[in-house]
Amino acid sequence: MELRLRAPLDMHLHLRDGEMLRSVAPLSARDFAGGLIMPNLVPPVTTGEMVREYRASIEEAIGEEKFRPYMTLFFQEEYSYDFLKEVREEILAIKLYPAGITTNSEGGIADLSVERLAPVLEAMSALGIPLSVHGETDGFVMDREAQFIPIYEKLALRFPDLTIIMEHITTKEAVEALFRHENLYATITLHHLSITLDDLAGGLLRPHLFCKPIAKRPEDRTALRKMAFLGHEKVMFGSDSAPHPREKKEASHCAAGVFTAPVALPALAQLFEGAGVLENLQKFVSDNARRIYGITPPDKEVLLVKEKWRVPESYGGVVPMFAGEELEWRVESAL
């Protein structure tokens, strides 16, 4: 049995930099036609020059692979209309991080009031630059995403022409919010479609499944699966693949992030086939993102075959999701 995916896209991807970039970027570039690259490096990507340098590093790391890195800026209150107009052609979106809420977000925004953000968001709206958001408060860990939804709604109402992406949603409340505002969209990860909090901490702690936002309840996963399995036009695939060295995950201060880049398409194919909706995977991993972002990715077809394979225990010292387990589908080739 075969499955052909046209220009699959990963619309939320962490490639890091330095040696880690060189190790993980080829894995995404092998299986995908493009990806939205997150800007939370140290220091964060905040200037046009940094965007160009980071893109060049990614292109060097992936070699001859046919993969387009769609670049982002790390949201700063100081961005002016003139600056954003100048870098518009260099970026696809701007990523907003609440200060200190996740990995390398210390330089994020502390005051998330609409009035404080309005000058930059007005400029983005006028220039057609989508806003990508890590939507969590600093409240109780299971409630952080739900508590952030009123902020999404205020932004959606105040800036109706601004495309707002609710990144890596994890709750049924976030799914419900999508239907209340025409300009709200969302990415959904493989790991949030696959696991609940019980998989992370219900038995022995599994640090390689620890991420932010944390996995939630079964009813939340059900709501996410319903949207993804329908290939609903409001959602698209964003892996939030976030590599950390093994020693940073298997530690007393475990780093947040699940590394899914090398297993994403096979595991998604297995999930969608299990639900009897394999024909909708194309919409979830490509078609919806093309429409939402208005992009034309490289012409690349990825062939998957239904053939069991065992996921390696690590890739360059980074432990992937499903390490040591068998998956039903594997990537055969990319044309």
Contact 68, 78 (CB under 8 A): no
Contact 238, 167 (CB under 8 A): yes
Q: Is the peptide bond before 266 cis (omega within 30 degrees of 0)?
A: no
Q: Which of 279, 248, 241, 278 is nearest to 262 (CA)?
A: 241
Marked catalytic residue, from 143, 198, 240, 287 = 240
Contact 27, 35 (CB under 8 A): no
Contacts for 318 with CB less than 8 Å, ≥ 6 apart: 20, 23, 24, 243, 244, 245, 246, 259
Instruction: Tell me the one-letter amino acid at 64.
Output: E
Decide if 240 is catalytic.
Answer: yes
Provide the terminal-to-terminal Cα distance of the chain, rounded to the nearest Å: 18
* β-strand partners of 34: 9, 68
Residue 334 φ/ψ, nearest 5 degrees = -130, 130
d(CA 133, CA 89): 20
Q: How many CB atoms lie within 10 A of CB 205?
A: 10
Alpha helices of the chain — where are they, by DSSP H?
A: 18-31, 48-62, 81-87, 114-127, 144-158, 172-178, 190-194, 197-201, 218-230, 246-249, 264-274, 281-282, 288-293
Catalytic residues: 240
